[in-house]
Chain A
Amino acid sequence: MLLVITAIAIARVVDLFAAVMLSGIYGLLSASFFVAMDAVDVAFTEAAVGAGIFPLLMLMVLGVTGRYEKLEANLKKPAVVKKVAMLMLMLLTGGLLIFGTIDMPAFGSADAPAQQHVNIRYIEQSPEEIGIPNMVTSVLASYRGYDTLGEVLVIFTAAMGVLALFSSQLFSPSKPSMQVEQGGMRDHHVLRIVSKILIPLILLFAFYVQFHGEYGPGGGFQAGVIFAAGIILYTMLYGLNKAMEVIKPSVLRILCAFGVFIYGSTGVVSMLSGGNFLDYSVLASDPIIGQHLGILVIELGVGITIAAGMILIFFAFSHQAESQLGEG
């Protein structure tokens, strides 16, 4: 219910800053919703992405565009016919969705088809076949490992897309200009001190999530996002140039590609050792150790690409914002 209210509030509010904050709340709410549905891993991802990195990135975008929506003065109000048509279309889609749920198996019932088919093997056999307690990780990283490779490439593609739009000066060695003075929030001592305590913890937590994914909820995706959030926080407080001194964009670009390589070459190596693509069992003499090794390595690849990709996207945006400030 809260979800619906928040969603409506997001659509109605004119102040984009408020909208971003509300969508952060939306992310957190849906994360708790997923916890209530017993999907802890999904909830963790949603918390990291929806409530963590998404608002940060959106804030940066607002830095480029400005805080308020352009008022309708220069936009024509859509004609009534169009409005009615839009309403009909929405009702149709919504109605169809509700219609579709009529025959859906009841939530949580044990004899729903979704529980009866492939899941049985995931639940009953994955501890023996793969040897790690977190079944979600086994499904994501091994049974459906190729999908995960695909998802990593989606992030990689997104990062490339942003680079395609903004890249021009990001990689040229930036000249120390007057921007150094205005970047960041120099005067907020409280924020800076609190963040100095928090950021190392965030980064540390990211590593914990990274390597603990086999046992608890978590893994490369969440870790990468959390790590990136830490760095982004640092950038927001201390300014872009300082952050770019620590992590050079060109290094990030290499890392971003490198993570994909780690993942992909794991597949190629398993192919060369006689198995199918991404068959980790052949990586070591004992299949279970092979699975362990494979999952550890690919999660590392995932983490690297996600973190590098996110930071790269953020740098590209904030570079744009700062150069606009510099001109304006």
Chain B
Amino acid sequence: MLNHLPILQVIVPLLAAPACLLLNKPRLSWLFACFAAVISLLISGALLYQVQQSGVISYMLGGWDAPWGIEYRIDLLSAYVLLIVSAIGTVVLLAANTSIRQEIDEDKQSVFYVLYLLCMAGLLGIVATGDIFNVFVFLEISSLATYALVAFGRDRRALLAAYQYLILGTIGATFLLLGIGLLYSLTGTLNMQDLAERLPVASESATVYTAFAFMIVGVCLKLALFPLHLWLPNTYTYAPSIVTAFLAATATKVAIYLLIRLYFSVFGADFSALPIQPIFIGLGLVSVFVASTVAIKQPNIKRLFAYSSVAQIGYMIIGIGIGSSLGLQATLLHLFNHALMKGALFLALAAVVYRIGSAERSGFNGLAKQMPWTMAAIVVAGLSLIGVPLTVGFVSKWYLVLASFQSGLWPVALLIVIGSLLSIYYVWALVESAYFGKAAMPSNVSSSSAANLSPIKEAPLSLLIPIWILVLANVYFGIDTRLPLEASATAANFLMGGGS
């Protein structure tokens, strides 16, 4: 059975989804979904181990050899991202039951878990496959599921946000498909490795440049790089809290993986036709500054951290733009670390929403007394976001600064540090109001009045435990950095060293 692991990784959540629909009892569906998610987490762990021991795993679907059939190809990079996605997916799912029971009508809850599993399977499928059209198919699965998940939000504006995301996301996917079509017309193959081998022959043609441009823009829409980030803040703000936590920690990460995969493995790192690296660095820096500045003023905390996500994506893009192996490693590290901190932050916000009913800034006044554990989690994850030593955020920012020094880009390094100062500002403002602000009168804490006459209680354990798993992971991997460091260093060298 061990040699089937690559496909099982995707198939388990994929087929668990219709099974969930057949169960049709919210609680059962949830348990079953958790079961499937845990299995896929175990598989991804085993896969990472296998890859580290014995190198790239290739799995031929349908038993057909690579360029004719579809190939699943797990190298260190994909194993690493698979682990991130399935780990976050599982932890968030564990917390889902409590929060979802409050935020979604009971008769829709099973459908919610069906879509959640589909989304997770779609993301895993994008990462595991070695076939470029298969990427598109799974991108569609995960995106469609995402749109529906966002539309579950209680606020009616969630529908509009989902619709915006649908339009922009579809444009992104169409661009990607156009690029794939152009590449196929030039090479006659859809397998990524095969494509990479055949492209240099055709590389001096306008068609390749066009394909490259369309694919990069399409993926950048998906990963919300400034100025293509417009869908993200609304989506994150109005989606159900659990969905936000899941999306923030996984969906954009997979898009970044896809960018790295296309850029380094398919087109090749020395595909220097367009001045793409300065563009990446420039846009990355603009993302960091614009998004951080906008974040400071947001009255809604979910929206604040949504903008902060755009900023963090900027850091990852800078890492790619630096173009050295160390820069890429910094991006990969930040991928892992950002998933941990945003997962923790948005889950903690889910707990706040669970107790107060909204994530408005005014609700946070004096909240630290009422929900000490949740607020402590926000503080730790916030420190990690800033990049304080002993948290994961420090490790990746350190590497990013190191990489830009190494490549002689010291202004970039300086700007990265200044950008971090901005995040201190918005995190501190939140902490200040929670710890030192006076608790507001119950009447203006929240709109629903009756429930709030009793003092606000700490979040239930079913939420706190997953939150603290992520928070402790933030600290643990900030101190014991071996796992992500080794994996990302090898993966980065592997990608830079002449493609896969």
Contact = CB atoms under 8 A, between A and B. Distances in A.
Contact of B205 (A103, A158, A171, A267): A103
Interface string A153-186: 1101110110111011001000000000000000
A256 B135 CA distance: 24
Contact of B60 (A142, A171, A276): A276
A228 interface: no
Contact of B63 (A101, A117, A257, A279): A279
B148 A153 contact: no
B11 A264 contact: yes
B100 interface: no
Contact of A157 (B144, B187, B213): B144
Interface centre among B64, B108, B131, B149 (most CB of A within 10 A): B64
B144 A161 contact: yes
A119 interface: yes
A200 interface: no
Contacts, number: 183
Given A113-B188, A113-B198, A165-B148, A277 B18 contact: no
B21 A257 contact: yes
B67 A271 contact: no
Say what secondary structure dominates the interface of chain A: helix
A276 B61 contact: yes
Contacts of A265: 15
Interface residues of B, number: 65
A279 B68 CA distance: 13
Contact of A99 (B70, B159, B210): B210
Given A102-B206, A161-B144, A146 B70 contact: yes
A97 B206 CA distance: 10
Given A96-B210, A160-B115, A161-B115, A257 B22 contact: yes
Interface string B328-355: 0000000000000000000000000000
Contacts of A275: 63
A257 B14 CA distance: 11
B107 A261 contact: no
Nearest to A145: B62
Interface string A121-155: 11000000000000000000011111100110110
Interface of A: 96-97, 99-105, 112-119, 121-122, 142-147, 150-151, 153-154, 156-158, 160-161, 163-165, 167-168, 171, 253-254, 256-258, 260-261, 264-265, 267-268, 271, 275-282
23 contacts: A99-B210, A100-B207, A100-B214, A101-B207, A102-B206, A114-B185, A119-B188, A150-B125, A151-B137, A153-B14, A154-B140, A156-B18, A156-B118, A160-B115, A161-B147, A161-B148, A163-B111, A164-B111, A165-B148, A257-B22, A268-B11, A276-B7, A276-B59
Pairs of residues from A and B, 10 with the lowest C-beta to C-beta distance, nearest first: A100-B210, A161-B148, A117-B188, A279-B63, A257-B18, A150-B137, A103-B205, A113-B188, A114-B188, A278-B62
Given A118-B68, A277-B4, 9 more contacts: A99-B210, A104-B186, A112-B188, A113-B187, A113-B188, A147-B137, A150-B141, A154-B137, A275-B63
